[in-house]
């Protein structure tokens, strides 16, 4: 996960906190070719002008003119499918530098494309002594904000929530963590996050829940150990991306006539 400051409810300070605060602020602005979504606010393409109909030959008085063919119905956009590489569920608990600062725990996970850019993230934010817990999901820019997001744990009842804020790296949507939602996440297989992109196509992304209960109920992760694992993961992702580019370049046929 790309752990950064993501919530205005918990504003602890310090170098370590700034490096590992929470896992829902996306590092990639878009999912590039995977998402195929134009930037928000981009003007919709203008429809091509209709060609002038050709004059039909005059029919005899006893013959009815042929009916005009109805235009074909527009097909809805196909649902997007994105292949992701997942980080494990990870838990951090920390305090700010203020004398009266309360501890805040973050348990989160994200999914990335092969280039290393996060595409979806979810984190439970749990301030010490507060009865309310927050599940924050983050998606890249390029979503239709009016629809908000929707989450589903396996086959349970879907929950829907509006976006609460957008930064340069993504848009966030918050859900109240009820005892029922928490129990279903601990027992479930997948947390499904859904949204609508700028093209109007539905986007469905799954975050596996296999290790969620162990991470949530277990001790916090050592920040130094986590940072080291993140460094190794990023190096591996960069290596895989370079290898994929090299394969594409070597597989591209040379065609001098196409100059």
Evaluate whether residue 133 is within a structural domain. Answer: yes
Token digits for 6?
């993501």
Given its phi and psi angles, is residue 189 left (phi above 0), alpha (psi -120 to 50 degrees) or beta? alpha
Beta bridge partners of 207: 191
Residues 104/94, Cβ–Cβ less than 8 Å: yes
Residue 16: other Cβ atoms inside 10 A: 14
Supply φ then ψ for residue 170, to 5 degrees.
160, 175
Say which residue, 205 or 16, is predicted with more confidence.
205
Please check whether residue 41 lies inside any domain of the structure.
Answer: no
pTM of the model: 0.64
Domain that holds residue 26: 15-34+79-250
Closest C-alpha to 84, from 60, 116, 55: 116
Q: What is the pLDDT of residues 94-146, one digit of tens each?
A: 887 787 888 999 999 999 887 778 899 999 999 988 889 999 999 999 999 99
Domain membership of residue 21 (yes or no) is: yes
Domain membership flag for residue 121: yes
Q: Which of 15-24, 70-79, 111-120 has the lowest mean pLDDT?
A: 15-24
Report residue 164: phi and psi, to 5°.
-100, -30
- CATH number of the domain where residue 88 is located: 2.60.40.1880
Structural domain count of the chain: 1
Closest CA to 153 of 183, 184, 176: 184
Which pLDDT score is estimated for 254? 60
The pLDDT value recorded for residue 233 is 74
Q: In whole angstroms, what is the distance from residue 25 CA to residue 83 CA?
A: 20
Asked if residue 163 belongs to a domain, the reply is yes
H or E segment and range at residue 248: helix 223-251
* Domain-located, residue 4: no
Q: Is residue 70 part of a domain?
A: no
């Amino acid at each position: 996960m790309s752990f950064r400051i993501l919530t205005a409810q918990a504003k602890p300070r310090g170098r370590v906190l700034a490096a590992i605060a929470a896992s829902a602020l996306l590092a990639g602005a878009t999912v590039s070719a995977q998402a195929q979504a134009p930037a928000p606010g981009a003007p919709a393409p203008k429809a091509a002008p209709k060609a002038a109909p050709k004059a039909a030959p005059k029919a005899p008085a006893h013959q009815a003119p042929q009916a005009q063919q109805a235009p074909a119905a527009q097909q809805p956009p196909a649902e997007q499918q994105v292949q992701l590489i997942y980080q494990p569920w990870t838990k951090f608990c920390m305090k700010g530098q203020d004398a009266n600062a309360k501890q805040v725990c973050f348990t989160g996970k994200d999914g990335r494309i092969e280039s290393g850019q996060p595409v979806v993230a979810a984190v439970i934010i749990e301030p010490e002594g507060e009865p309310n817990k927050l599940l924050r999901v983050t998606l890249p820019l390029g979503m239709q904000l009016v629809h908000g997001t929707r989450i589903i744990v396996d086959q349970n009842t879907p929950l829907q929530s509006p976006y609460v804020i957008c930064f340069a790296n993504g848009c966030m949507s918050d859900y109240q963590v009820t005892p029922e939602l928490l129990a279903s996440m601990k027992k479930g297989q997948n947390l499904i996050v859904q949204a609508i992109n700028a093209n109007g196509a539905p986007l469905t992304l799954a975050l596996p829940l296999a290790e969620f209960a162990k991470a949530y109920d277990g001790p916090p992760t050592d920040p130094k150990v986590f940072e080291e694992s993140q460094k190794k993961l990023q190096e591996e992702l960069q290596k895989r991306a370079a290898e994929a580019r090299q394969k594409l370049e070597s597989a591209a046929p040379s065609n001098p006539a196409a100059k």
